[in-house]
Structure 1
């Protein structure tokens, strides 16, 4: 090593040129004056020996990025206080004006008369660029996650662990908890009861490797209110094409769902009475009959007697109020499973399911007549409303909606022909 301080022989220089990366010998002075460098140093930074002397006066400190010099000096002093070896990372200028990140290892040699560093440089530019790109990508992802209203999740299928973005807490009001050891009911306790099974099926499909999955489900908030959400998941695979993880989003579609539900309801219901319109009445009744139920059902067609007189005497607004009251009365006489509709201006229909006997249907018809007759009696109203009812019974009078409707309509015509304010059961 003593010869390194006095200058290298040709053989020594050849030996240094075999060392990968750049090699430099410099004095331990204020400018870290360059004494010798190998070919790798010239290749790494692009300068010639003459250019180092002309541009930097062989002062290595001038080649270090201005932002890194102070840190460089502090680190040199700090590490020399602990020993004679240095390990540093900083940027060094190149001939094309760019800076390269380097990792340098240095050994201090010499005595009181003169001290020199023997330094070896490795190019870290590609590594640092990769690290910087990764840092920016992670920062970019974090910005997106913070700005997005969607909840982002990742399911590690191997470890069976789920992590979600922090905005879950803001959306639902509690921290999520996933424990694969829990039973389905406990694991999915925050989902609507009707959505638990579909969600469990989707999770099984993802575990088996389904590439893309979408489901609309309701998730409870801390205030026990359900929010409609759309969950999307994409599966990632390992080199052997085995499912590795699933990543995806949970987006709030509550307003969209409720708007669609409102539009659907408006399409199904009569605006005045809140009963089903004729098309929806037929669809629901026919859907039930297509299952060929092994019970008795009844089809009623109800016509308000002389309703035109109510409109003529009291006005159409009052007539509308009367129809709304009659609809409310019919709802009270039926079950939630039954289907009631307004099929014309002053004409209604009822489809009653699962009756014990046809006599029960006739009893219901008598109650309808009584309800109509008494609804507007008393101090509040000074008039009487009656109705005529046509009745057909499934399965004897028909097995589908159209047939039952036709038979009920014929029976209604007979009831009105016989003087109104009565019911008639269809008789071939």
Structure 2
């Protein structure tokens, strides 16, 4: 007989195996445990455990279930890879994957059970740690409002496709996103895109998508793994900051910074096209009485109403801005003559004629306006504003609630 096939060889193989080989009698008492397996699994000598009830080592919460499985095996059923937990000699627990088959006597009657057990404690810990990591990642993705997606290079299939493949993406953004996608795929490089989306409610939302390539051993693209994020709130904040940088926070009109930019652009266009433009400075008459009578809150309400009335007098190409306090500036593009300016100035005076009502009080507020024209009165923005300011103060000297044109040498008519 081959030495490796002899009973002694099998016995040595079992006795020295780190896995547990075991047998139970009909009463559930240990009848056999291999020495090395018993020491490794239970931290005890096999001889000490022989004759002891198997249920002594089963974790209490699993005792009823394990007893039911043992009864199934005694009824002639074989059970494989069932997981359980046993208590070691030091009080700690070990997770086991067990196989059990009926043990039959000489007459074929089931007289017990026999099988093997494998320590899967480390596997269970690793699985639990992996589950925890996956759960943390899921919560992080959820907290960051991220949408996970994958693209398979072989099939071209998208799993949970990003919104840039959706018809709701703005047409102006869609082609740009798709072009960036094609280039990233062709080069096997990361992909990034920001884009706008039309919602069913007719609103605009902003999204950001980023994907990284997964390459095979030969450097060929296998898939793209990415996330998409709703960045609408961030965009709204950026737009608000941008708006406040160039607009008056009280009235919403352009501020001095935006006025300077608009005036420079208008001057450039007028010079290139050989056209005229006008700058009007407007200072409210009687506004101080509102602040003195009802306080700054009422004064703010009047300023907002003045801004609205001024804006209603302007063409789309014109600019009305708040200089500060109760002073406003207006840029009239493409004017033919002083006559065009008079039409606008008289329209403004009529718009301000109607009383302003604040907290039950009525106030009559007028305006003194100064007007300077390009290129007749000045050739740059600073000079235009300065000359319009001189004309405005001349209007105040002449009795207020009227307008004056700058005529040179500091005079105004």
TM exceeding 0.5: yes
TM-score (norm 1): 0.66
1:85-138 per-residue CA deviation (whole Å, 9 max, x = no partner) reads 332522334344332313324353323577354423333333333333333444
Superposed displacement of residue 17, structure 1: 4.0
Distance 2:62 2:332 in 1: 86
Structure 1 pair 84–110 and aligned structure 2 pair: CA distance change class (3 A): farther
Q: Which residue of 2 aligns with 1:338?
A: 318
> Does residue 71 of structure 1 match 2:76?
no
Judge conservation of contact 1:392–1:426 (CA < 8 Å) in 2.
no
Structure 1 pair 202–414 and aligned structure 2 pair: CA distance change class (3 A): farther
Distance 2:97 2:89 in 1: 15
1:281-336 per-residue CA deviation (whole Å, 9 max, x = no partner) reads 0023335666898435544233559x66x468998779979877765554334333
SS in 2 for 1:275: coil
Q: Which residue of 1 aligns with 2:202?
A: 224
Q: Which residue of 2 aligns with 1:392?
A: 374
Structure 1 pair 298–270 and aligned structure 2 pair: CA distance change class (3 A): farther
Q: Which residue of 1 aligns with 2:56?
A: 62
Distance 1:382 1:38 in 2: 106
Q: Which residue of 2 aligns with 1:172?
A: none
Q: Which residue of 2 aligns with 1:279?
A: 257
Structure 1 pair 102–402 and aligned structure 2 pair: CA distance change class (3 A): same
SS in 2 for 1:390: strand
> Does residue 34 of structure 1 match 2:14?
no
SS in 2 for 1:301: strand
> Does residue 155 of structure 1 match 2:134?
no
Structure 1 pair 270–104 and aligned structure 2 pair: CA distance change class (3 A): closer
Distance 1:125 1:312 in 2: 83
Instruction: State how many pairs are aligned.
Output: 383
Superposed displacement of residue 156, structure 1: 0.5
SS in 1 for 2:47: helix
SS in 2 for 1:23: strand
1:157-184 per-residue CA deviation (whole Å, 9 max, x = no partner) reads 2254243xxxxxxxxxxxxxx489xxx6
Distance 1:315 1:326 in 2: 14
Structure with the larger strand share: 2
Instruction: Give the root-mean-square deviation of aligned CA atoms.
Output: 5.0
Unaligned runs of 5+ in 1: 1-7, 164-177
Unaligned runs of 5+ in 2: 1-5, 357-362
Judge conservation of contact 1:44–1:123 (CA < 8 Å) in 2.
yes
Distance 1:377 1:143 in 2: 61
TM-score (norm 2): 0.67
**Within-5 A mapping of 1:318-397:** 327-328=307-308, 330-343=310-323, 348-353=328-333, 355=334, 359=336, 361-372=337-348, 374-375=350-351, 387-393=369-375
Q: Which residue of 1 aligns with 2:360?
A: none
Superposed displacement of residue 409, structure 1: 6.4
**Within-5 A mapping of 1:14-413:** 14-17=12-15, 21-24=19-22, 26-35=23-32, 37=34, 39-53=36-50, 57-79=51-73, 81=75, 83=76, 85-89=78-82, 90-97=84-91, 98-112=93-107, 115-141=111-137, 148=143, 150-158=144-152, 160-163=157-160, 178=161, 187-189=166-168, 191=169, 207=185, 213=192, 215=194, 219=197, 221-227=199-205, 231=208, 233=210, 235=212, 237-238=214-215, 240=217, 242=221, 244-248=223-227, 250=229, 254=233, 258=236, 261-262=239-240, 264-270=242-248, 274-287=252-265, 294-296=272-274, 298-303=276-281, 310=286, 327-328=307-308, 330-343=310-323, 348-353=328-333, 355=334, 359=336, 361-372=337-348, 374-375=350-351, 387-393=369-375, 398=379, 401-402=381-382, 405=385
Distance 2:408 2:179 in 1: 49
Distance 2:226 2:382 in 1: 51
Distance 2:304 2:268 in 1: 31
